[in-house]
A and B are shown apart, each in its own frame.
Chain A
Amino acid sequence: MNIFALEFMRIAFVTGGCIAVAAGLVGYFVVLRNQVFTADALGHVAFTGSVGGVLAGINLLLSALASCVAVALAIGTLGGRGRGRDVAIGTVFAWVLGVGVLFLSVYTTTRSAAGNLGVSVLFGSILSLQPFQVAGSSLASIATCVVLVLVARPLLFLTVDPDVAIARGVPSGALVAIFLVLVAVTVALAVQAVGALLIFALLVTPAAAAQNITSRPAAGLVLSAAIALGAVWIGLVLAFYVSWPASFLITAVAFAAYLASLVRARAVAVAMAALLVAGCGIGSPPAGSSGRLHVVAAENFWGSIAAQVGGGTVSVTTIINNPDADPHDYDPTPADARAIAQADYVIVNGAGYDPWASKLLDANPVDGRKVLDIAKLAGVRDGDNPHMWYSPTIVQRVILKMGTDLGLADRAQQLWSDGFAEYRNTIAIIRQKYSGTPVGATESIFAYMAQGTGLDLITPSAYLNAISEGADPSASDKATVINQIDTKQIRVFVFNSQNSTPEVQGLVDRARARGIPIVSVTETLVPAEASFQAWQTAELKALLAALGG
């Protein structure tokens, strides 16, 4: 498959390219004017602005732009140079970042599976740009380039020799304000491509390399833009083949150019051009064609069920296989996007659990592809508990629905009545013997199973959600959980061993010390090659044993 055959790669090349050129040009002046720290601060503002925008339900790009421009103008009024200015900026941006953490915390405790949002803002999401980001970013980048070229000459004069420039009537106040606005816009745009923390890779590193190579301003500006563009394009080509994060690869290419500029100036342009040509010329990875139906499941628990329903008539690819990976905040690779682009039948969990999967589906429209969104099937909305594979009733509906969709209704019926017999029996035994027994858990992952087995889960639900979403739980909920353990209000304590943070581990140790039986469950299949029902039955039996057998 050709690298440009995928829509998301084309979008990334065009949008990323526009952003890179703008960042290279504006960055040249950022470095020349020694305002690197200002740019860094604005990157953090963009983080807070983006998260705040999502929280308020406004366009993420607009809110990032607005907050960056506002803070840039405020920095302009701080005035001064050097030490005092840096301290003022540092203090302001530590605070802005603190506000961003607050927004993120509010967001993750009120919406389900929002873990992805913060990480994609901090580290970029160039491979999953949304349609509204594409046109907006490209146009804003082009506008930024045009304005910068218009003011470049007086701005350069003002930067190199401010006193003479002001004496000659250059409007310094207006120019500085315009420039800060340009920096703000560029930062807000660059955050889309490489993320709030890595904007230097486009804004500072290419400009620094260009200034090492030439001291002529016009050549430096062009070179800076060229290096930034080269870093983005080469980074994207590499990301297509090696499935490392695109933002890291872009950063690494930019840094390599910087290192090369320190050693041998001219070699840089030649080497980058060669790399790009070589990258685009690499042969395309082969596409599989076996005549069987291609089924892609976002997570391996649903993939296991699909493989059993489909048998030999389907080939199932699951995107998340690694037991260490958390589906909540998985960052898809180009290989995943390829798999979804080529699939006949795609199974996603939905309910905000795997937003990346829906994005990949939208980014690669294919005629005749069927999609099973489990949350839609089960009537579970975004923000509700997304761990539906822990609900026996939903699992049954999914098996039957897959049978209908794949034209194998009989096989599906048989799987549920025979293959899942032990699973159903174990649930029935727990329900019969221990209905209403109070239990505790660390995560909402257990909530559906508690419902299915009739157990009474007394842990505060806000706490369960916070741990599930990777947010800090509130102190008062934490106090409640500790109290429930200390006073032995719970008969069994259930934790997710795939999310064993120090927080979780501390509670497990505490419960164990009080003699409360511990049951570990996992988010995804363990071992990774186990069947869905074998995995679930093993967990249910462990639960039964912990309750007293």
Chain B
Amino acid sequence: MPDLLQYQFMQNAYAAGTLVALLAGVAGYFIVLRGQSFIAHTLSQIGFPGAAAAALLHISPVAGLLAFCGAGAVAIGAAGRDLDAGDRRESAAVGSILALALGLGILFVRLYGGSAQSVYAFLFGTILGITQRDVLLTVVVVLAGIGALAAIGRPLLFASVDPVVAEARGVPVRSLSFAFLLVVALSVAVTVQIVGTLLIFALLVAPPAAALQLTAHPAFGVIASVALSVAVTWAGLALAYYTDFPVGFYITTLAFGVYAGARLRRAL
């Protein structure tokens, strides 16, 4: 076994990181395809007040995260019900919800009397402090998330690429979009406490965007997206282990590099 995997915490980090990268690669592909990066970002940050509220009420952080991310998905779904994705009023509504949610987060931290430690842990994750219980939980959520996406994948793709035609053909576009938001919210809720709001967003957007630059074929695209996000996660963890700089920095930098590289390759 290489030196890298000698310790339990690195084994756990690799296991959880890989699982999260798998789900993020698949869900992210649809997020980028549907032009919902801003919503993905919002949902990932709504986890922060959720975790803070859970600390305040002395309940499990997962429960708080699930409640807030779920409620966030419902609120965003409701706010944008009559609007097209990317509409300016939708962006404004989502932005306002996000600001309120983060404001609540800092209020809960204050009421709890917590420290910067807890704030950073929620925001930036603690990938080097993952327990085996966390890994098991991640396995369950990732399987459920990928299962749900596989079930709705084909109609969701249709609805994402051409919503008007899909609706005319009887595809339930609105329900699908809602279901997708919920899958994103629930995946974010469980993975956020491990990798942090920052990391989950980088993985949700950059590798899929790079994959879309490389191929227009959906199946290849999803595979490329997953492969890139897993590769980025593995390399990021290894670099962090050997050089002592934060994992979040490496994973976001590598993800950005992959995206920039894909754009450059296309431009040439």
Contacts and interface: CB of A to CB of B under 8 A. Distances in A.
Contact of B249 (A105, A258, A476, A503): A105
Query: What class of interface size applies to chain B in its complex with A?
Result: 35 or more
Interface stretch (B105-113, B144-152, B177-185, B220-228): B105-113
Most A C-beta atoms less than 10 A away, residue of B86, B94, B117, B124: B117
A535 interface: no
A476 B10 CA distance: 11
Contact of A252 (B10, B94, B103, B245): B103
Contacts of B241: 475-476
B259 A208 contact: no
Secondary structure at the B interface, as helix, strand, loop or mixed, is helix
Interface string B90-118: 01111110111011101100111111110
A329 B116 contact: yes
A150 interface: no
A503 B256 contact: no
A299 to B, nearest CB: 14
A83 interface: yes
Contacts of B131: 502, 506
Interface centre among B89, B95, B123 (most CB of A within 10 A): B95
A91 B242 CA distance: 25
B121 A95 contact: no
A143 interface: no
A91 B198 contact: no
Given A204-B92, A478-B128, A115 B252 contact: no
A201 interface: yes
A207 B37 contact: no
Contact of A94 (B38, B116, B126, B255): B255
Main secondary structure of the interface of A (DSSP, over half): helix
B209 A91 contact: yes
B190 interface: no
Contacts of B91: 31, 34, 36-37
A123 interface: yes
B252 A40 contact: no
Contact of A247 (B38, B89, B106, B126): B106
Interface string A37-50: 10110000000000
Interface string B30-53: 001001011011000100000000
A245 B110 contact: yes
A34 B91 CA distance: 7
A197 B102 contact: yes
A143 B251 CA distance: 39
Contacts of A204: 92, 95-96, 99
A92 B115 contact: no
Given A87-B37, A115-B117, A251-B102, A95 B252 contact: yes
B179 to A, nearest CB: 21
B246 A255 contact: no
B82 interface: no
Contacts of A34: 86-88, 91
B255 A473 contact: no
Interface stretch (A268-276, A286-294, A320-328): A320-328
B121 A326 contact: no
Contact of A98 (B96, B129, B251): B251
Interface string B246-268: 11111111011001000000000
27 contacts: A31-B88, A40-B41, A87-B209, A89-B37, A90-B206, A91-B209, A94-B202, A95-B252, A98-B202, A98-B249, A99-B252, A101-B124, A102-B249, A106-B245, A115-B117, A204-B95, A244-B110, A252-B100, A255-B96, A255-B99, A322-B113, A326-B117, A470-B120, A472-B247, A475-B10, A478-B128, A503-B126
Interface of A: 31-34, 36-37, 39-40, 82-83, 86-92, 94-95, 97-99, 101-102, 105-106, 115-116, 118-119, 122-123, 195, 197-201, 204-205, 207-208, 211, 244-245, 247-248, 250-252, 254-255, 258, 322, 324-326, 328-329, 331, 470-479, 482, 499, 501-503, 506
Q: 6 shortest A-B CB distances, which residue pairs?
A: A98-B252, A251-B103, A326-B115, A474-B244, A115-B116, A208-B92
